[in-house]
Amino acid sequence: MTSFVPRRRPAVLAMSAAALLLAPCATAAETSAASTRPPLSHSSARGDGQRPAAGQVGGQAARFKRQLTKSGYVSQSGTEAVFDLDKRYCEGAVFSALWANPQSPYIVTRLPEVQGQAPNTNPPVTWRLRQDEAVVMIGRTPPPEAYFSFDVTMMKGALPTGPLLWPSVGDPVNNKTVRTTGSTPYDRPFALVVTGHRQTRAKVNKMLAASGLRGAINNMTIPPAMFRLGLDKRSDQFLIGMRTAVPKRGYEKALDDYRAAPPIQVFRVRPKSGSSNQTKPVYAPDPLPVPRLRVSGTGATELNLNPSLQLLRRRIIKAHPGYKVSELVVRRGFEESYPGFQQKLLTDPPVTGVDALSNDADDPITPSFKLPNGSFLVAYGTNHVSTRQASYSSITLYGDPKAAVSLTSKNHEELRGSAHHYLSDKGNADKFYAWTFSRAGQNGPTGRYVTQLPSTGADYCARFGLHRPVDTSMVQFAARVYMQPGTHTRPAFSSLLMDRMLLFTPK
């Protein structure tokens, strides 16, 4: 079902998937410490003044393991850690950084293989799943923030060489839909169950309920109607990634602590086999159906703001005389996951494809363009959070068409107020942003809403103490628009005013 042919011939790099293991994200000891560490500092307390009891999550995980043994199940433990694609590109471990979001480092679930299974292509960040197995997380949700989610994705292809077919598997669990043990989605115990097998889900849910997590169980389905479950070479491989973005004021350190040591224990669980061959299912097939998807769009749009957007454009141009002006507008960057999966749209930068695009997100993007020394770029548009089209939005500049590494990024909170000096006479100025990315130094724009970029000759990978050539003279702009409050999923693309850019180069 998932065999594919690249849209164009990939540039294969001389790397091995073993690089992913040689430079691990975190040690097992670090993850073990995460699972038993005390509750976060005072800055991560719940908004209602309550906190999980010390050791509560660890106790629930221990009770769940006892329930597994009692129910005739076996388990293997995994780990949770940040997977920094920019750094991994500089290390030579991945063929591209794939437009990673620098403000939301991805926390990835790493799972061990089952003895005798076909090897994973990208161990341990991708894994195969026996048709009667489940992946189970028990932990605490992040501190208060604009957005977090758990995404299950399918990945076909090798991260060291590319290209990738990388769609999302259904809707993520996010901070508007997550079930926890309390009345808040933040800093509370939760459980997550990922499986494609009905009987396994029912039994695992029962064990979690007996472990003290009744009412806090979140089920995610890998539907056998769309994907091949199994441990043989023909089976699909999967990945769980967690996004965390824009902590509420006062919770910045709490989120840093959470990312550094995620308070989550993860297990791959399956019914115990009487055979030494653990790759053979114990239960007969009992496939779960494809879940209903959340529907994007409320009918409300930003389009009535277009006259003010055009005025903003004219005033930005007027503020910078003496420069040649070129215009760029974003376009749809990635196809929706299930259509893209069926079309086998590969991601091989600068080709976009599918690329694990969350069903919570619209990620419009520009083609690559030159941003030479002496020039600057003004990005402008609507602040999609202020217009209630999103819960989290950001703009990001990427360097090198193939590497697609992040240069700098600004989120909706940072963008707030940045268009006021252009629209001071307009009552809706707070619904817009205008941010400058400059390579013109002191001869160009300066001020609070200007990001000074390194010159095109700067060594990008030096920030990691590494060296790998990156052509930052060529850049690409991407916007992120996540989770409309009214629908708990992405906004309708047709409801947005597209983000725009004005490129100023010396005449």
* Average model confidence (pLDDT) across the chain: 90
pLDDT at 11: 36
- What pLDDT band is residue 190 in, cutting at 50, 70 and 90? very high
State the pTM of this model. Answer: 0.88
- What pLDDT band is residue 55 in, cutting at 50, 70 and 90? low
> If residue 58 lies in a helix (H) or strand (E), which one and from where to where?
helix 56-70
pLDDT at 7: 40
Rounded Cα distance, 216 and 140, in Å = 11
Mean of pLDDT values over 267-278: 93
- Percent share of the chain, pLDDT over 90: 87
pLDDT at 32: 32
Question: Is the pLDDT confidence value at 457 over 70?
Answer: yes
- What pLDDT band is residue 9 in, cutting at 50, 70 and 90? very low
Range of weakest confidence among 14-23, 278-287, 303-312:
14-23
Mean of pLDDT values over 340-365: 95
pLDDT at 276: 86
pLDDT at 275: 87
Rounded Cα distance, 433 and 131, in Å = 48
Helix (H, G, I), strand (E, B) or coil at 43: helix
- Higher local confidence (pLDDT), 192 or 39: 192
Mean of pLDDT values over 100-128: 96
pLDDT at 36: 32
Mean of pLDDT values over 42-48: 34
Classify strands 238-247 and 145-154 as parallel, antiparallel or unpaired: antiparallel
Contact assessment for residue 471 and residue 399, using Cβ atoms and an 8 Å cutoff: yes
The secondary structure of the chain in percent helix, strand, coil, rounded to multiples of 5, reads 20, 25, 50
- Percent share of the chain, pLDDT over 70: 89
Rounded Cα distance, 108 and 472, in Å = 28
- What pLDDT band is residue 56 in, cutting at 50, 70 and 90? confident
